[in-house]
Structure 1
């Protein structure tokens, strides 16, 4: 499908969808006032291992256009290197073959939702839903949870991940996409997909060969972008995945999602100085300690986003330190 073709929606549709977001936030405040931390989990929801560190952080409720991953230039569609299949789904070329790349599907869906919000163009919502359907079609299912597989091997320094393997950043972005589609469409199927994707965060490395989360020997919770036997602790992937937990909690008031988001903030705050290299580029991950300017810039931006989500000034202060350490 040619991206220059647009199917304009009526202004009433996008206004109604923005109104839905406003009600989500109003209901959030009302619910917290009554229930706060005392919500019960569904009896079918897996129990999370309680043995990890959790500190208190605020959880701010932000309008959609102040959330992470909501601002993109339409020119990004002309700059992408990814080809499309016959259904206008973005695909990935791996060693000369075209494959489905779950993170590409996540990110394109999120981009199209953002364009829908900013333009009111129904075309973009249709493209977002098409990418979400492709994620659902490709998903593997373990213990009631959805996992979005990589069908090709990836070498990450000395780590080799063989297919099928699953990534915490991919799970987090899929969760974010399904939550946003639910909020904009009211289609409960997207909420069901979000619930089943969230369930993938509840099975730990210590419990299963299929995992994206782990607890280290100091009791800190991690979401792993590359879930190798010895976790690498990639900072940008962890933070990105936590955005999905944040929005899922706001949409559902699930107390377990709240615990995992707070545990994520606790871990990031505790270890952030280990990622910092004073006067130089921050580490991409703790295992290999590689330094990449692109991801250093991302760390600076992501820490500001965590400050907005939590109100914790530590994240803003560290973002400034990272910037002073290195910027172009």
Structure 2
């Protein structure tokens, strides 16, 4: 009897082992069978192949054939959908983008790109051709993200008010004598450009706002010294405003989109906008009308068109139909650069100046241009998103053959500015893009 039991147990073990082996073999054959069926689909049956690949991937998530197949088919559908969108077949494009976004196993980078394009398709926009013809380099985008995650930070500010803290700018720069920045005998910073130190109106404005933020958070006793320092730098900026209302850069500068250097006397909307933020706070602290006079002059120059020597442009270089959309250029280049952070900083300046209740007419004008600039920003944000990361400007659209410019130092600044504009306006467009761009680099 004992012998029989042992024999029975041994037989059961052999049977179980045999069945296990057959199940493994059957599973392998099943995966191979899926693959053969998938390979049987032609180019015109890409959607059918994608569905079967998704089914196979759920059963065999480690099988690289299905992972690669999903991404290959998704790329084809992405290309088809972009073509449909350019031909104004928006419903077909939306269907294609959604199929990519909802299918498990497809690369997040491809899904990010589909999300960007879906935003435009839902707005019934053909989009700008250059954006859809942009060649994707997912490895490069991955490298950008990894470098950003390892070396940079972003911050949400949660609130913004004209006479309160300015974007927590005091957390971004220390402003001490270094190889890059030196202070003159009056405590005004100068910036190193190719070995020579020059006054930069943006740097001076940001240093003033840093001092203002420190003043707000300082203890009694120390705060009066910081107030004095802030007003000293604000006055330096005020004395730099010329008789046209411009804050000019008195040195040559080379921009990558231009063949020739900017000559001394060039202007920037961001310099004008940040000066408005400085003068609004200086007037709030002192009640001195000289800041109103300087600010009004700066504002009037800010809304001078680039064709008349100013820095207010339009989107006509992207598409002739967009000439009614104004854009505030950080750099006035030919072709236009459309630098994102410069436009947003300028909008903050316009908002601040609209809140200075001394001159209603000027205040209403500042509010008008603020709102017009917001309309442009809502329209143009998708074009900075290159599918998993963010471009610094739109030179890749205005100068054929130019790759998207990425500046890691400004990634977090974009997020902070979007958060500020969301807090000011309550417009979820800005919150949604801020959250999307955070998700691209979020640390887990």
TM range (shorter): 0.7 to 0.9
The alignment partner of 2:170 has SS state of coil
Kept in 2, the 8 Å contact 1:178–1:190? The answer is: yes
Q: Is residue 293 of structure 2 the alignment partner of residue 192 of structure 1?
A: yes
Instruction: List per-residue Cα deviations over 1:43-63 (Å, max 9, x = no partner).
Output: xxxxxxxxxxxxxxxxxx954
Q: Is residue 240 of structure 2 the alignment partner of residue 125 of structure 1?
A: no
RMSD between aligned residues: 2.2
Kept in 1, the 8 Å contact 2:165–2:213? The answer is: no
Change (3 A) 1:65 1:251: closer
Aligned to 2:375: 266
Change (3 A) 1:309 1:87: same
**In structure 1, what is the Cα distance between the partners aligned to 2:369 and 2:213?**
26
Q: TM-score, normalised by structure 1?
A: 0.74
Aligned to 1:92: 191
Q: Residue 133 of structure 1: CA displacement?
A: 2.1
Change (3 A) 1:231 1:132: same
Aligned to 2:348: 243
Aligned to 2:365: 256
Is the radius of gyration larger for structure 1 or structure 2? Answer: 2
Aligned length: 262
Q: Residue 97 of structure 1: CA displacement?
A: 2.8
Q: Residue 320 of structure 1: CA displacement?
A: 1.0
Change (3 A) 1:265 1:64: closer
Aligned to 1:134: 236
After TM superposition, the structure 1 = structure 2 runs for residues 1-328 of structure 1, keeping only pairs within 5 Å, are 63=161, 68-70=166-168, 72-73=170-171, 76-78=174-176, 81-119=180-218, 120=220, 121-142=223-244, 146-159=245-258, 160-206=261-307, 208=308, 210-217=309-316, 218=322, 219-252=324-357, 253=360, 254-279=363-388, 281-288=389-396, 289-327=404-442
**In structure 2, what is the Cα distance between the partners aligned to 1:107 and 1:118?**
17
**In structure 1, what is the Cα distance between the partners aligned to 2:405 and 2:171?**
30
**In structure 1, what is the Cα distance between the partners aligned to 2:339 and 2:172?**
29
Instruction: List per-residue Cα deviations over 1:102-132 (Å, max 9, x = no partner).
Output: 1121111111111112115111122122222
**In structure 1, what is the Cα distance between the partners aligned to 2:422 and 2:252?**
35
Higher mean alpha-carbon deviation, 118-127 vs 191-200, is at 118-127
**In structure 1, what is the Cα distance between the partners aligned to 2:334 and 2:232?**
34
**In structure 1, what is the Cα distance between the partners aligned to 2:416 and 2:378?**
15
**In structure 2, what is the Cα distance between the partners aligned to 1:78 and 1:100?**
15
The alignment partner of 1:164 has SS state of coil
Kept in 2, the 8 Å contact 1:69–1:110? The answer is: no
Q: Residue 177 of structure 1: CA displacement?
A: 0.3
Q: Residue 92 of structure 1: CA displacement?
A: 2.1
Aligned to 1:40: none
**In structure 1, what is the Cα distance between the partners aligned to 2:194 and 2:175?**
23
**In structure 1, what is the Cα distance between the partners aligned to 2:342 and 2:171?**
22
Q: Residue 99 of structure 1: CA displacement?
A: 2.1
Q: Residue 66 of structure 1: CA displacement?
A: 6.0
Kept in 2, the 8 Å contact 1:168–1:225? The answer is: yes
**In structure 1, what is the Cα distance between the partners aligned to 2:413 and 2:435?**
13
Kept in 2, the 8 Å contact 1:150–1:164? The answer is: yes
Runs (4+) of structure 1 exceeding 6 A deviation are none
- Structure 1's unaligned 5+ residue stretches are 1-60
Change (3 A) 1:68 1:324: same
Q: Identify which of structures 1 and 2 has the higher relative contact order when contacts are C-alpha pairs closer than 8 Å and 6+ apart.
A: 1
**In structure 2, what is the Cα distance between the partners aligned to 1:75 and 1:205?**
31
Q: TM-score, normalised by structure 2?
A: 0.55
Kept in 1, the 8 Å contact 2:190–2:197? The answer is: yes
The alignment partner of 2:197 has SS state of strand
- Structure 2's unaligned 5+ residue stretches are 1-158, 317-321, 397-403
